[in-house]
Amino acid sequence: MDFALSEEQKMLQGMARDFLQKECPKSLVREVQKDPSGHPRELWRKMAELGWQGLVVPERYGGTGGSFLDLMVLIEEMGGACLPGPFFCTTVLGALTLTGAGTEEQKRELLPLIARGEAIITMALVEVSDRWDAEGIQCNAQVKGDTYVINGTKLFVPYAHIADQLIVAARTSVSDVPESGITLFLVNRKTEGITITVLNSINADKQCEVQFHDVEISSDRMVGQSGGGWPVIQRTLERATVAKCVEMVGGAQQVLDMTIQYAKERMQFGRPIGSFQAIQHRCADMAIDVDGSRFIAYLAAWKLSEEMPCPREVSIAKSWVSEAYRRVTKAGHQVHGGIGFTLDHDMHLYFRNAKAFASAFGNANWHLNKIVNDDTSTDVI
């Protein structure tokens, strides 16, 4: 049993924290939020110089071959900094999926580009049903000679509008079992028949509607086996879900730190508000939410990193952390009083992220439902 990060991970953490403090001030977050691209290009380039986009890309494809847990260390810091942009989708949805399931050609083509910060990748998965399971995938891809023709609409696709490639989930055959007949394709954003609309949403992250109208894809752009897409998606989804939890942990920790700082400084009735028990107890509850989130998220992250099967831990983490982060940001607002309730203050950036992250990859209710559905054991231990 070991609750601590390794020495190298601690170094990575410290470096990431310093870097983001300097390079990703909240002024940048606000600028990016207003920018239709939603992409902090300069910062993206600097991150690539540090090798961040290639952290989990294997060495022979130009990355550093770090573990999933290493990536979590970075993503936690990004959550603290409210870093906007396509890092998450490119590394977690893109690099991890391609490394696991891409053909040798696809890997050679894309992984080095990802590692150099020259490619943005995303995954087009969810549709109007907002379901995060196999049943949600209704877009279809029909064989036509050497190609497939994709039709349908994807929703909530992160950064599709600036992505170079989209990993698209579509049905290549229909059956009674929703998990079978799903195939993944690597699709260039500029392919004819694709229409992308950025959805206005609560935080700086760009989520898109992607319409496919008779989009023709050569069969060598298939990722994994025909009809074998679901296990690949599941693997990616588990990792993305947990990575999102870890990003929330970073945000929640930051909100707690800001709030404690403020509670020590703000004077009312001739004393710091942090000396009032009502404020102290609220802060204690925030601390429980932060620590609880941290360990339940890292428990799942560690299991994934070790390739242990852990769907239950993933759902437990997402259901709990999603609610905890929202509670923390709500409490943060309360302790900050009026000053925190302005557009100029940073608190709402976290409040917004907490909401958006809570619904990403299935919200608390979705995952709670998964917990009971999968729960055949009577003993958790």
Applying CB under 8 A, the residues found at the interface with other proteins are 1-6, 69, 256, 260, 263-264, 271-272, 274-275, 277, 279-281, 283-285, 287-288, 291-292, 295-296, 298-299, 302-303, 313, 315-316, 319-320, 365, 368-369, 371-372, 375-376, 378-381
**Gap between the Cα atoms of 290 and 298, Å rounded:** 12
Would you say 197 or 261 has its CB closer to other proteins? 261
In whole angstroms, the minimum distance from the beta carbon of 185 to other proteins comes to 35
Name which of 84, 82, 38 is nearest 198 in CA terms: 38
Would you say 200 or 277 has its CB closer to other proteins? 277
In whole angstroms, the minimum distance from the beta carbon of 254 to other proteins comes to 14
Reading the block at residue 61, the tokens are: 């494809």
Would you say 28 or 287 has its CB closer to other proteins? 287
**Gap between the Cα atoms of 15 and 125, Å rounded:** 33
Reading the block at residue 242, the tokens are: 């947990």
In whole angstroms, the minimum distance from the beta carbon of 296 to other proteins comes to 5
Reading the block at residue 334, the tokens are: 């309360």
Would you say 4 or 177 has its CB closer to other proteins? 4
Would you say 199 or 284 has its CB closer to other proteins? 284
Question: Which residue's entry shows tokens 């930051």?
Answer: 254
CB 118 within 8 A of CB 45: no
**Gap between the Cα atoms of 110 and 118, Å rounded:** 9
In whole angstroms, the minimum distance from the beta carbon of 356 to other proteins comes to 21
Would you say 230 or 302 has its CB closer to other proteins? 302
Name which of 319, 335, 171 is nearest 266 in CA terms: 335
**Gap between the Cα atoms of 211 and 128, Å rounded:** 11
In whole angstroms, the minimum distance from the beta carbon of 334 to other proteins comes to 15
**Gap between the Cα atoms of 145 and 18, Å rounded:** 53
Would you say 6 or 342 has its CB closer to other proteins? 6
Q: Would you call 272 exposed, middle or buried from its count of C-beta atoms within 10 A (0-12, 13-18, 19+)? A: middle
Would you say 2 or 192 has its CB closer to other proteins? 2
List residues bridging with 204 in a β-sheet: none
**Gap between the Cα atoms of 347 and 351, Å rounded:** 6
Q: Is 266 helix (H, G, I), strand (E, B) or coil?
A: coil
In whole angstroms, the minimum distance from the beta carbon of 286 to other proteins comes to 9
Size of the chain in residues? 381
In whole angstroms, the minimum distance from the beta carbon of 32 to other proteins comes to 31
**Gap between the Cα atoms of 367 and 314, Å rounded:** 8
In whole angstroms, the minimum distance from the beta carbon of 206 to other proteins comes to 30
How far is C-alpha 88 from the chain's CA centre? 5
In whole angstroms, the minimum distance from the beta carbon of 324 to other proteins comes to 9
Would you say 154 or 336 has its CB closer to other proteins? 336
Q: Which residues contact 59 (CB under 8 A, 6 or more apart)?
A: 65
